[in-house]
Structure 1
Amino acid sequence: MGTDRLDEVLDAAYYCLTRYGVRRTTMDDIATAMGVSRSAVYQYVRSKDDAFRRLAGRLHEQALRRAREAAASDAPYPDRLHGVLAAKLGLVLQLAGDSPHAAELIDEKTRLFGDICTSFTADLRSLLTGLFTEAGTVAGVGPARAADICIALVVGLESAPDPRGLLPPATDALATGLLGTDARPDDSPHPPHSTP
Structure 2
Amino acid sequence: MDADRLSEVLDATYACLVRHGVRRTTMDDIASAMGVSRSAVYQYVRNKDDAFRKLAERLHAQALQRARQAAAQDAPDAHRIRGVLAAKHDLALQLIGDSPHTAELMDAKARLFAETCSTFTTELHALLTDLFTQAGTTDPARATEAADICLALVIGLETAPDSRRLLPRATDALITGLLQQNTTTVVTDPGPAGALTAPA
TM over 0.5: same fold? yes
Aligned mates of 1:138, 1:180 — CA distance in 2: 13
> Residue 192 of structure 2 corresponds to which residue in structure 1?
none
- Any gaps of 5 or more consecutive residues in structure 1? 182-196
Q: How does 1:35-184 map to 2 (within 5 A)?
A: 35-137=35-137, 142-180=142-180
Structure 1 residue 174, shift from structure 2 partner:
1.5
Counterpart of 2:161 in 1: which secondary structure? coil
Q: Which amino acid in the other structure matches residue 67 of structure 1?
A: A
Structure 1 residue 58, shift from structure 2 partner:
0.2
- 1:141·1:178 contact (CA, 8 Å) conserved in 2? no
Q: TM-score, normalised by structure 2?
A: 0.87
Deviations 1:86-128 (A, max 9, x none): 0000000001110110011000000010111011001100010
CA RMSD of aligned residues (A): 1.5
Structure 1 residue 138, shift from structure 2 partner:
9.0
Deviations 1:48-107 (A, max 9, x none): 000000000000000000000001101111111111000000000001110110011000
Deviations 1:155-193 (A, max 9, x none): 110121111111111111122111008xxxxxxxxxxxx
Cα–Cα, structure 1 residues 25 and 140, in superposed 2: closer, same or farther, change >3 Å?
A: closer
- 1:137·1:178 contact (CA, 8 Å) conserved in 2? no
State the percentage of identical aligned residues: 69
Deviations 1:117-146 (A, max 9, x none): 011001100010000010023989711000
Cα–Cα, structure 1 residues 140 and 60, in superposed 2: closer, same or farther, change >3 Å?
A: closer
Q: Which amino acid in the other structure matches residue 121 of structure 2?
A: T
Q: Which amino acid in the other structure matches residue 74 of structure 1?
A: D
Q: Which amino acid in the other structure matches residue 32 of structure 1?
A: S
Counterpart of 1:51 in 2: which secondary structure? helix
- Any gaps of 5 or more consecutive residues in structure 2? 182-200
Aligned mates of 2:159, 2:103 — CA distance in 1: 12
Q: Which amino acid in the other structure matches residue 101 of structure 2?
A: H
Q: Which amino acid in the other structure matches residue 11 of structure 1?
A: D
Counterpart of 1:30 in 2: which secondary structure? helix
- 2:9·2:41 contact (CA, 8 Å) conserved in 1? yes
Aligned mates of 1:118, 1:180 — CA distance in 2: 30
Q: Which amino acid in the other structure matches residue 31 of structure 1?
A: A
Aligned mates of 2:133, 2:139 — CA distance in 1: 13
Question: Which moved further from structure 2: 5-14 or 134-143?
Answer: 134-143
Larger Rg: 2
- 2:19·2:99 contact (CA, 8 Å) conserved in 1? yes
